[in-house]
Structure 1
Amino acid sequence: MEKKIKTLYILSIVAILAFLGMQAYWLYGRYEYSLTEYENRTGLLVIEALKEYSKARARGSATQGDTVKVQSRFQMSHSLDSIGKSIRKVTVRTNVINGRKLLGIAENRKLTPEEMKRLEEMVMDSLEMVDAKIATIDASSAPSDGIAWNAMKNFESEVQSPFTKEGIDSILRKHNLIAEIALILQDSVTWEPTTIRHSSVISPKFKVTTPYSELERKAVVIECEIPSSEILCNMGWTLALAVVLSLFLIHCLLWQIKTIVKLTRLDKMRNSFITTMIHELKRPISTLKMCVSGIDNDKLMEDNQLRHELTGEIRMALDNLSAYFSKLRDITFNNVEQIPLNVSSFNLTVLVDSVIKSITVPSTKDVVFENAVPENFEISADCSHLINILTNLIENAIKYSSDKVTIKINAVSTSDGCQIIVKDNGNGIAADDINRIFNRFYRGKASASDIPGMGLGLAYVKLLTDAHGGEISVESTVGVGSSFSIKLPQ
């Protein structure tokens, strides 16, 4: 049975660890999903901010009026290479005409009609006075012609109104986005925005790389930090529910194991109780059986002395049975008030002597009794219960000792009653068992030995002591012995 219980413990621990692992894996997946969801949502905001910034750059160009003019020429051609593969090539020529600069006008104002006419003549006479930018690139890798045309427009926008970190940062802040911005020159042309997902769950970050002038291989890298604390707060109810559910299931599993262990222990106690009860009943019954056989012998009954010895043995066996059944009866009471007391005054010294004489000492042990109770020490208590108390303590001292043991019984008067002390030099009681030896059916380390017992003796002693309104305590050292002290009010 113990092997099965141990196996059950191991399987339960494995089940708990497996459940916690699955729960942690599920929560991790949920956290990753929340991070990805935040990335997607924020990535869309970044793209919208870039579009908004492009429109703002276009509006800025328009406000320059006729003082600065940009003339662009877009050209896209398609051809086939030697193996029949389609080749798309785009060319952009952008002319920038700065009227105020060409006319030498310092103030910021619109040009007059005469100035506009003179500017046109100057441009027509010499194209060298015009800032021209030309870009030609193989756009075969562009997903579509529309994206290629859009790249040429982006080149024109970059010439007309250059892309700046400050400009895009202001737009992002309008959308409550704080990001690290870098303008880079790429090794190859990219046509569409790309997102690099987070690689860490502790300080997660993601990057959005967007080309703003594809023909010049210029791109902006926007790196955003994902607020993990905000993600965890949003998952608060999920986390709380998972923790509560985990604790509840673990508690139920442990409670089930505890119940099984308790039932196993009770079954073991029941078997031990039955075995011990049979052993305890067998001795007086065997004595009675032997005495009854002697009574049937007429020759033995002719000897008066022998007859008196037989009747004395019968009386003692019956007293033992009566005391044993009284113990079983009293131990079942739920409170001490239910135990009947017949209080009387008697000589404790004489009672201790009678108890010592009634003790059956095993033939394998050498027991020395010391009755140190002062002569004529009067006490008021239930005589039969006190006999049971002393008998249990003395029998325990004999049972849990080596081959030689000395048992000393003493008594002293106190200010509020008397104190009876039963001391031995037996095996002693472990410190872990001291606070539990008075519990019913508890035997401590004795349960692992072959010493018979039900774990009721000391519980019965405490019950009878409490019924008298007294107290019982114990001092013990393993290998030295034990000392039980019983305080009874008088």
Structure 2
Amino acid sequence: MEKKIKILHVCTIIAIIVFCITQCWWLYTRYDYIWQNYNEELYQSILGIMQEDFENRRISGERKNIDFVTESSIKVDNTKMQYTINLFFDVYVIDGSKYGDKDSTYSDRILNLYEKYKPEGIKKYEFSIRNCENEREAYVGLERFQVDEICPFSIKRLEDLLKKYGLKTTSITTEKMDSMVWKPKQFSHLNILKPNMTVIYPYDIFEGEVVRMNFDIGMSPIMKRMSGTMVLSLFISIMLISCLVFQIKTIRSQRKIEVLRKDFIQTMVHELKRPIYTLKMCVSFMRNDILMADSQSRAEVISDSYNELDNLSSYFSKLRDLTFDDITEIPLNKSSFSLGEVINDCVKKLNIPGTKKIEIKIISERDIVLYADRMHITNIISNLLENAVKYSAENGLIKISYGQSKKGSVTISIKDNGCGISKYDQKFIFDKFYRSREVIDNHIPGMGLGLAYVELLVKAHDGKVSVNSEEGKGAEFTITLPQDEFI
């Protein structure tokens, strides 16, 4: 059974580890999916902003006096089983304030002037686009070049536009590439703690001029979208792991109860053998007429029989009372009686082994009339005295003190100078069947019911029991019983 329980524990732990790894992998996959979606949405927003910036620059036209004359040509190469289109643009940028109004001969005049004189106010740009896949894209590039000449690109203007839409960059820079960049590019960096994205956008395709924008996305927008998933995953994880842990604890508790049950049965059988054996000896003695003729011997045998029957009755009373689920179920037959008289009776009936010499001192300023169940109070004091004798050294000293406070509660204290109780064991000594490892190793008899029985009866009287002890310095048990009902 022990081996099966260990295997079950190992399998449960492995299942928890595998589940946690699977959950982490699933959450990471979900995180990556949401990040990609958010990244794409952000990228499309940036493209829309760049297009808006382009439209604004085209409409504003900061340099309104700029004119353009464009000559274009197409060369088709259909050799070697390949079909390619090459486009060529000659773009003349003209200062319109110097060369008059436009008319039907305006383009020819500009071309002749530039060919003959290359005058100031006219600039010529030559662009060659080879292996052109889409002729429309070439004219889009031409338009961007013209808009950039009319209204040059501005980082400040772009930053303001980005802020307008709630986007903040870590850096914006312009660069000039070695070749034409036709389409914007996106570079995403999926860092779990600090994801970021870089966008390269060509604002002047023909001249290879691009703007590089870096964005720190942060975790908050992604975590916000994942909040529902994370809460559900966390709830399921906690529930499953809690169930598995509870299962392990339940199995361990059942195993512990089983061990306690076996130990209790063995101890109880051992403890019951002694009074039964003594009673058998007494019965055998009574059957002998010659031995029974001696009055002193007869009286001792009858006294021993009563004592052992009292011990058996005490065992069964403990077992009966400990089976109650609620202390209110314990029947109490309260009456007023002398506490000093009960203590003296308990001391007189106390069985002290012949191997020990125990001195018992009763300390009290006056006798007290206690209102409680006399039988239960007797059992409480007897159990504590038996424990004090059991755990005392060969020459032991037991002090019994009692008194009454101004509020009316009665305090009973039983102190010994025995082996004492460790701080760890003090937390469990009132548990049913609990016996410390040191007691078990030293083969001290007992069923682990005495202190649990004492606490049960004290609580039934609405009282409290506490212990003050150090290892090697003895132990002191204090019982406080309220007397409000009597008062």
Shift of 1:422: 1.7
| Contact residue 69 and residue 91 of structure 2 kept, 8 A | yes
Query: What residue number does 1:474 align with?
Result: 467
Q: Does 1:462 align with 2:462?
A: no
Q: 1:362 to 1:79 in 2, by over 3 A?
A: farther
Query: What residue number does 1:47 align with?
Result: 47
Q: 1:445 to 1:336 in 2, by over 3 A?
A: farther
Counterpart secondary structure, 1:133: strand
| Contact residue 139 and residue 148 of structure 1 kept, 8 A | no
Matches within 5 A, 1:276-425: 276-333=267-324, 334-336=326-328, 338-341=330-333, 343=335, 345=337, 348=340, 352=343, 354-362=345-353, 365-372=355-362, 377=367, 379-380=369-370, 382-412=373-403, 415=406, 416=408, 419-425=411-417
Task: Choose 335-344 or 216-225, whichever is displaced more.
Answer: 335-344
Alignment-mate amino acid for residue 438 of structure 1? F
Shift of 1:8: 6.0
TM-score by length of 1: 0.80
Alignment-mate amino acid for residue 458 of structure 1? L
Q: 1:74 to 1:393 in 2, by over 3 A?
A: same
Task: Choose 294-303 or 259-268, whichever is displaced more.
Answer: 294-303
Shift of 1:197: 0.6
1:329-370 CA distance string (max 9 Å, x none): 233332256324364645836x5555345434445x523132
| Contact residue 407 and residue 424 of structure 1 kept, 8 A | yes
Shift of 1:99: 3.0
TM-score by length of 2: 0.81
Matches within 5 A, 1:199-210: 199-210=190-201
Alignment-mate amino acid for residue 22 of structure 2? M
Query: What residue number does 2:224 align with?
Result: 233
Shift of 1:268: 2.4
Q: Does 1:133 align with 2:130?
A: no
C-alpha distance in 1 between matches for 2:395 and 2:56:
106
Shift of 1:159: 4.5
RMSD value, Cα: 3.9
Size of the aligned set, in residue pairs, is 475
Counterpart secondary structure, 2:189: coil
C-alpha distance in 1 between matches for 2:393 and 2:167:
83
C-alpha distance in 2 between matches for 1:138 and 1:126:
23
5+ residue gaps in structure 2? none
Q: Does 1:255 align with 2:246?
A: yes
C-alpha distance in 2 between matches for 1:174 and 1:323:
88
Query: What residue number does 1:98 align with?
Result: 95
C-alpha distance in 1 between matches for 2:283 and 2:177:
115
Counterpart pick for 1:74 among 72, 75, 100: 72
Counterpart secondary structure, 1:183: strand
Shift of 1:89: 4.9
1:395-444 CA distance string (max 9 Å, x none): 21233344543223344465536543321011222334445533434445
5+ residue gaps in structure 1? 104-110
**Quick one: percent identity of the two aligned structures?**
34
Query: What residue number does 1:26 align with?
Result: 26
| Contact residue 71 and residue 91 of structure 2 kept, 8 A | yes
C-alpha distance in 2 between matches for 1:143 and 1:200:
37
Shift of 1:372: 2.7
Q: 1:166 to 1:93 in 2, by over 3 A?
A: farther
| Contact residue 355 and residue 391 of structure 1 kept, 8 A | yes
1:184-223 CA distance string (max 9 Å, x none): 1113443322111124333332122123333422222233
| Contact residue 183 and residue 201 of structure 2 kept, 8 A | yes
| Contact residue 185 and residue 218 of structure 1 kept, 8 A | yes
Task: Choose 409-418 or 184-193, whichever is displaced more.
Answer: 409-418
